[in-house]
Amino acid sequence: MKLKYILLLLGTMLLIGCSDKPADVIYKSDCIQCHGKMGLKSALGQSAAIGGMSAEAIKKALHGYQDGTYGGPKKSIMQKHAYSLSDSEIEDLAKYISNLY
Ligand code: HEC
């Protein structure tokens, strides 16, 4: 009986650990410090204000940082932040950020 509950708990933890995080959680923990609350800050004086970008452009940028086809002089910084995002997380983040402002 007890074992069943432990297995259930472990299974739930595994599920949460592997599934995508919601866009607002990712943004607030991983992006906000450089891009600002509404995405209007020029990150490290280099990026465009991402809060004003279209979802399509944000998606393209994040995929581009992942495969090395997008970016300016400070792209290595963004590559670090983009590489662990899944396709569906990018999709959600792009929508979320384009609606920040
Ligand atoms: C340590 C600071 C930092 C963090 C954290 C960070 N960024 Fe960036 N971001 C930058 C910089 C610097 C650039 C411009 C890089 C370049 O030269 O291409 C940039 C560029 C971008 C761009 C493209 C904007 C443009 O100028 O074309 C997008 C979109 C973006 N970031 C989204 C995100 C998202 C989403 C996250 C969180 C997962 C994030 N960033 C986290 C610093 C950061």
Q: Give tens-digit pLDDT for 26-82.
A: 999 999 999 999 999 999 999 999 998 999 999 999 999 999 999 999 999 999 999
Rounded CA gap, 72 and 27, in Å?
Answer: 21
| CB-ligand 1 contact for 23 (6 Å cutoff) | no
Would the pLDDT of 90 be above 80? yes
Q: Ligand 1, closest atom to CA 97? A: 35
Identify the CA nearest to 46 among candidates 61, 35, 32.
35
Rounded CA gap, 49 and 40, in Å?
Answer: 5
| CB-ligand 1 contact for 79 (6 Å cutoff) | no
